[in-house]
Amino acid sequence: MSEDHGDSANIAFVGCGNLGMAILSRAICSEVIDPATTVVIERDAGRQAEASRLGVRVTADAAAARGAQGVVLAVKPQHFLEAAQAIGSLSGATCVVSVMAGWSSAAIRAALSGGGSDGPRVVRAMPNMAAQVGLSMTAVARGAGATSDDVTAALRLFSAIGKAVEIPEALIDAAVAAVGSAPAYLYLLAEAQIAAAETMGFDAVTARAMTIESIFGAATLLATDGREPAQLRAAVTSAGGTTAAAVNVFERGEFVALVAAAMEAARARSAELGK
């Protein structure tokens, strides 16, 4: 993928589920990509219809990715080899941007090289589902054969769905844990808070509203205040007070160690997916 936006530029989205659709729609709205020179390769009829409304060409034929200047690979990791076989061989003239967990850039390049020594340039990226509201954090890594211009173009693409940062590819599996899976951690906490609030006597609607607004407010303060998380926690935690009582329970349950173990499990699973 390069930053040349001339008539010859074109991009193919291979797979257009929730994440692919979020990237596609917001990149079009931000004028990062041109729908007139974009093709979406998707077999699901409902997703085809949704993509068509954005003005892109839609097909179920993966061979349509051949010759594209850029390919956004947004299939599930377990479906990649099937997709690669359907796409066929891509040359070094094409940059593939993969949002798959697990698969290394070298493995992606080899699978799409058609058995030849050459293959596409590969950039790996790890966004998260907040892309649907334009608030994703995306980790972007320069992979096999990729140039600095490829990374710059990828950072620009993912800036359409939020913020993006460059990392070494060696840290992509860790980024799966720190970025890709991260929303689920917060949703689990929200589930627990809502359930506890209901147990305390609040109705479901009120419990949900209180939890969501509390999390949203705390996250907004964390993002804008400038203080570290520990400093903000200390500011709301008075010795012997109600918050201290709650935090003490978390600490007795080794909350910090539990989070670290959960993130390590996500990182390890990502590494396994590429084997």
**What is the value of pTM for the model shown?**
0.90
Could you tell me the residue range of the domain that residue 240 belongs to? Answer: 182-273
Per-residue pLDDT reduced to its tens digit, 203-217: 999 999 999 999 999
- Record the tokens describing residue 268, joined without a space: 């390890």
Identify the domain boundary among 107, 139, 172: 172
Is residue 137 located within the same domain as residue 230? no
pLDDT band at 67 (very low <50, low <70, confident <90, very high): confident
Residue 85 CA to residue 204 CA, distance in Å, equals 48
Of 39, 46, 81, 99, the C-alpha closest to 63 is: 39
DSSP assignment of 159-213 equals HTTEEEEE--GGGHHHHIIIIISHHHHHHHHHHHHHHHHHHTT--HHHHHHHHHH
Is residue 186 located within the same domain as residue 142? no
Per-residue pLDDT reduced to its tens digit, 218-251: 999 999 999 999 999 999 999 999 999 999 999 9
Q: What is the CATH number of the domain that holds 208?
A: 1.10.3730.10
- Record the tokens describing residue 150, joined without a space: 């490829």
Q: How far is CA 130 from the centre of its chain?
A: 8
What value does the mean pLDDT take over residues 115-142? 92
Is residue 161 located within the same domain as residue 237? no
Is residue 95 located within the same domain as residue 230? no
Is residue 228 located within the same domain as residue 152? no
Strand partners, 210: none
pLDDT above 70 covers a percentage of the chain that reads 96
pLDDT above 90 covers a percentage of the chain that reads 92
| Residue 188 CB coordination number (10 Å) | 11
- Look at the chain and report how many structural domains it folds into: 2
Residue-level pLDDT at 52: 95
Burial of 177 (0-12, 13-18, 19+ CB in 10 A): buried
DSSP assignment of 52-67 equals HTTT-EEES-GGGGTT
Q: What is the CATH number of the domain that holds 162?
A: 3.40.50.720
Is residue 143 located within the same domain as residue 201? no
What value does the mean pLDDT take over residues 26-52? 95
Question: Who's near 173: CB < 8 A, 6+ residues apart?
Answer: 101, 102, 267, 268, 270, 271
Q: Per the domain annotation, does 6 fall within a domain?
A: no
Identify the domain boundary among 153, 172, 191: 172
Residue-level pLDDT at 263: 98
Residue 164 CA to residue 157 CA, distance in Å, equals 9
Q: Per the domain annotation, does 145 fall within a domain?
A: yes
Residue-level pLDDT at 118: 82
Per-residue pLDDT reduced to its tens digit, 82-126: 999 999 999 999 999 999 999 999 999 999 997 666 899 999 999
Residue-level pLDDT at 193: 98
Identify the domain boundary among 172, 194, 227: 172
How many CA within 13 A on the CB side of residue 216?
7
Is residue 83 located within the same domain as residue 106? yes
pLDDT band at 3 (very low <50, low <70, confident <90, very high): very low
Is residue 157 located within the same domain as residue 45? yes
Strand partners, 124: 98, 141
Is residue 201 located within the same domain as residue 117? no
